Every structure is written in structure tokens, then in C-alpha cells.
Amino acid sequence: MLSRSNRRLLAVLAAVLASALGIAACGGSSKESKEGSSGTPAAATEATTSASATQSSESKPTLIVYSAQGYSPNGVKVFSEETGIPAKLVENSTGPLFARIQAEKAAPQWGLFWVDGQEPFASLDEQGMLKKDLEVPKLTSLGENLVPEDRSFVPTGITLACAVVYNSKEVSSPPTTWQQLTESKYAGKIGMNNPAVSGPTYPCVVGVMQYLKSEAKGKEFFEALKKNGLKISETNGNTLHLLETGQISIGLIQSSAEIGAAEKVKGLKVAYLPDETILPSNIGVDGKAPAAVQEEAQKFIDWVLSPAGQHQMKIGDPEGDSLFWPVAANTKPRPQLPELSSITTQQVNPYEWGKKEGSINKWFTANIVE
């Protein structure tokens, strides 16, 4: 039997031990300590771009940027450094990022979406997933034409969905019409990307359908290409690899990737077919994001279309996505690009074709890829 004094001593020791354990628990890996101040999961904050020394993720929420743009690492990093806004970049191809946003619909993990092609944004807008009435900085007249009426997304630059890049050692005279691509002399020599994976390729596919005046005639065109030995890859890099290794002689991919490849690889040249489809890069903002995150996203849009942001876009991926035609006012493209006015172009209605993206990609996968 313990004496009263001993029992009192044990009680004091127990209280001290409980207090120590409580302190350890507060400093451990609790759910709260794994999340930022805005409730952002640890996976979204562990690789945040470093902000200025006077700012931290506790004072401002982290802006999560989903992007497929080659210049986005530069852009996100410098934006964060110049504004003090913590930002985290999640990179992938457009298709997987769009699918991820759809999967997160009930609990979005993104704040800003930055990819090529307007069709995914039109689809998100019609689902009520984008913030409307964004503030749009001063743009060129073409840039203004690319802004939807509800201002739910903003263009940041222009490329072409699928021009022709060819090996001039094997193709002395490149095709001058889309229909010529189905000729027997190009059998087994043409490659392109899968639109279900490569964001720029879906606008290419529907651009051809619009050029040929109907979805049915467009499908007939791609079926003819397949019968003629069309080779399908997932992304620009994969198709360019086939071209550079002699497995194909012609690639139908995004103009920026083509121009960059022609700069690097001797013998590769770029040609433009009639009514090339304009492919804008765009930014949209999560309509369910907290007001503070939406404000940060608006600041990102303003910065990207400012001289500082345009500079980072132009130097961030000099042999790829940086080869774009600007829509920001008073901004010039890199010198490798021809005058856009020298190329005949068309625009496709993203709201019309955005509704069909799932079904057309499913058809393309079943009938052209497989």
C-alpha cells in the first residue's frame, strides 16, 4: 500500500508525463500540420515555389497551377518571386489534367488551369466549374476575339494546332492541301498524336472536320489516313522522335514543336496547309476556390500578360511552347516565327466542339489509334 505522499508524487509525475505527451502530439504529423492554412493537402504544398522571404504559406494561400505549358515552370517560379504569392505547379499533358479536374469536381484541388486549346475550358464553363467575369488585360484584336462573352477564360498566346513538319531529304515538295495527305506516295510516312492525350491534337482533329464541312467527312479523312499507314503517338515529342529517326517523313503536330524541331534538326522544315486551326493557350480559374485564391489567380493572369510575364513565356521553353504568337498588346513573337498574317487560319467554336470532345476522342481511339 502506497503512502499518501507517494501517491501524491505519482500523480504529479503522471501529470508531467501527460503534458509531455500532449506537447509531442502537437508537434507531430497531425492532419492540421500536413495541410496549409487554406486546407490544401500536403501533396499540393510540399513542392511550393519559394516566395519572398517576408511571405509564407501561413499568410497567403498557395495558388495551385495545373499546366501543360513548357514555359510554366519559369512563369510560376518568377511570378511567385515577384509577387510573394506562394504557388505550386502540377505538370502533365492536357488530357490527363482535364480528366483530373473532372475527377476532383466535388472537391477541386486546383486554383488555375493553363493549357492549350479552348475546348476543355468551354466544357468546364458549361459545367459551372469556372469563375466568370475575369478581368482581361489589354489584348490584340485577335486576342479579344478569343475571349468568351462570360470571360470565363483568358487567352495568353497563339500557336497552330497541326501544321506540317517534314524531312526535306525525303519529301522535296510537301503537301499543299489536307486531301493530299491521303495519297499513296505518303503511305506509312505520316504521324500525329492521340487527341485523348495531346491537348493540341483535338483542335487539330475538329479543325479538319470544320475545314471539310462536316464531322462525318472529317472521320472519313482520318480513316483514309489510317488505311494509308498513319502512325499515332501520345505527344509531340513521341511523333518528333519517329520523324527524327526516319520512321516517318511527315508529322502533323503543334506549330511551336515543329518550329523548334526545325531549329534543332538539319533537314526538318515546316509548311502550312489551308485554314490552319488557331490554338490559343488559355487560363481559367476554379469557380469554387476561396476568394483569396481567386484573387491570386487574377493577379497571375495580369502578370502573365504583362511585359514581365510575356518575357518568361518567351524564354521558358525556347525550342517549344515559347514559339507562340502573342495576344498581349505591344508584344512581339520570337524571331523564328513567320508573320501570322502570312498563313491562312480559321477559328473553331470551342462551345460547339467542346461538347463533342469525349465522343470524338472515344471514336478516334477506337477507330484510328487501335
Identify which of 208, 281, 196, 193 has the alpha carbon closest to the alpha carbon of residue 242. 193
DSSP one-letter code for 369: I
Instruction: CATH number for 163-277+354-369: choose from 3.40.190.10, 2.170.260.10, 3.40.50.300, 3.40.50.620.
Output: 3.40.190.10
DSSP-assigned beta bridge partners for residue 164: 252, 271
- CATH code, 42-158+280-338: 3.40.190.10
pLDDT tens for each residue of 46-73: 344 433 333 344 589 999 999 999 999 9
| Angle between helices 291-304 and 72-83 in degrees, nearest 10 | 110
pLDDT tens for each residue of 300-318: 999 999 999 999 999 999 9
- How confident is the model over 190-219, as a mean pLDDT? 95
Q: What's the confidence (pLDDT) of residue 58?
A: 59
User: How far, in Å, CA of 267 to CA of 203, rounded?
Assistant: 27
Q: Is the pLDDT of residue 20 over 90?
A: no
Q: Is the pLDDT of residue 9 over 70?
A: no
What is this structure's pTM? 0.82
pLDDT tens for each residue of 136-171: 999 999 999 999 999 999 999 999 999 999 999 999
Q: How many residues does the chain have?
A: 370
Which segments of the chain belong to CATH 3.40.190.10? 42-158+280-338, 163-277+354-369
